[in-house]
A and B are shown apart, each in its own frame.
Chain A
Amino acid sequence: MNIDTVVFFVLSGAAILSAILVITRRSPIMSVVFLIANFIILAIIYLTLYAQFIAVIQIIVYAGAIMVLFLFVIMLLNLAKDEQLKEELTYRKRVGIGLVVVLVVQLGVGLFVSVGKHPDKLAANAEKLGTVESIGKILFTEYLLPFEITSILLLVGLIGAVVLAKKRIG
């Protein structure tokens, strides 16, 4: 077993563990902390795939901006004491777990059928793909229109958030 495989297994074990901790903690603050850990581990996995740009914006945008927003809302709602919801096993939850089993079977069958048809090593040009230069070039030529539409999406998000969260006057 070479060093790449060992690194991958360590990282994926940590990623799965932190993901499980996100959905099992009672307090939302602990969930946020483990979700940040999960994002940082995923960023390291992106680095092993030579996607430097994605790894950096993963940390800046996700672990930085979005998770701070989550923490801010948790702080604003002040849920610390009264919102320790009772999480019991209702029939809805059992149906949910059944649906998850169906999903896992589907994913497993999909992976099993396609095994052996995937490439087993990185493409020859993989090291050059994830650089800022390569991403910038393709973003501002081939994907210029989607990039501009993204700005409209962010504007809509901005206005929507302000309208939804503001207090009604009068």
Chain B
Amino acid sequence: MVPLSYYLLLSAVLFSIGVVGVLTRRNAIIIFMSIELMLNSVNLTLVAFSAYMGTATGQMFVFFVLTVAAAEAAIGLAIIIALYRNKMSINIDEINIMKW
């Protein structure tokens, strides 16, 4: 039987890869995909804890995280389309209208 720590370690590694993606890439769509990667690694933690602790609460949280991710993807991609229409680019270095 695999100990819970292995799942937590895998989840931590996937989360870190997602963070690297957000901080180093400049293509807005790939940054967005890295965020999905991070959400998924958190889901893995919740499912693992749910199975090892013997309550279904963790899986309920995953359900709600999935809904939030769906709404977030729709809004985020709409924002990317709006940005592309205004700037003709999705390079985040060129998108600085909110910069102080």
The interface of chain B, by Cβ under 8 A from chain A, is: 1-10, 12-21, 23-27, 29-30, 32-34, 36-37, 40, 43-44, 47-48, 50-57, 59-60, 62-64, 66-75, 77-82, 84-85, 89-91
Contacts and interface: CB of A to CB of B under 8 A. Distances in A.
Contacts of A62: 36, 40, 66, 69
Contact of B70 (A19, A77, A138, A154): A154
A28 B20 contact: no
Nearest to A106: B12
A124 B6 CA distance: 19
B24 A96 contact: yes
Interface of A: 2, 4-5, 8, 12, 15-16, 19-20, 22-23, 28, 31-32, 35, 38-39, 42, 45-46, 49-51, 53-54, 57-58, 61-62, 65-66, 69-70, 73-74, 76-77, 79, 83, 85, 87, 93, 96-97, 99-100, 103-104, 107-108, 111, 114-115, 118-126, 129-130, 134-135, 138-139, 143, 146, 150, 153-154, 156-158, 160-162, 164-165, 167
Contact of A150 (B16, B36, B67, B73): B67
Nearest to B79: A164
Contacts of B34: 22-23
Contacts of A97: 20, 23-24
Nearest to B22: A96
Contacts of A118: 3-5, 8, 52
Given A73-B77, A121-B1, A104 B82 contact: no
